Amino acid sequence: MKQLLQLCQQEEKKLHQLSQQKNASQQRLLEIAQQQQQLSSMVSQYHAYPQQCANPLLMQNSVQMINAIQPLQKKLTRQKILLEQEHQRVDKIWRSQLGRQQGINWFYQDRLKQRQAHINKQEQKQMDDLACRYQLK
């Protein structure tokens, strides 16, 4: 029974660790989405600058900035794809671990109930035996 309780505790720890990993990857995905949004906003702004004034130097700077931002956008997109795959992998493991942990916990609780029922039965038998002895005297 003690080993089963220890197993329940170990499985709970594993589930907790996986939950932390899952939350961390979700947080990182949100950060990447924010960064992508910021870069897209910057590109939009740089596209708008040359249209506002026809200064050739400003147009050249805008094009250079857009060209500098595009590799960052591609890098973030690759990171996001990889992170989404990792998040899905961790989520799958977490779901599996959750099922395992719940199954072991259910088994442990069932064993506790069976044990308590057995103890109750033994106590009732002892009480019946004592009642029978006192009744015969």
**Per-residue model confidence as pLDDT tens digits over 80-109:** 999 999 999 999 999 999 999 999 999 999
Total Cβ atoms within 10 A of residue 32: 17
**CATH 1.20.140 at 2-136, yes or no:** no
d(CA 37, CA 39): 5
Q: Is the pTM of this model over 0.75?
A: no
15 contacts 112 by C-beta, under 8 angstroms: no
Confidence of residue 52 (pLDDT cuts 50, 70, 90): low
pLDDT(54) > 80: no
d(CA 4, CA 79): 41
50 contacts 58 by C-beta, under 8 angstroms: yes
Please report the pLDDT score of residue 51 as a whole number: 67
pLDDT(29) > 70: yes
32 contacts 80 by C-beta, under 8 angstroms: yes
Mean pLDDT in residue range 55-81: 89
Going by C-alpha positions, the residue among 133, 29, 41 that lies closest to residue 91 is 29
pLDDT(10) > 80: yes
Please report the pLDDT score of residue 93 as a whole number: 96
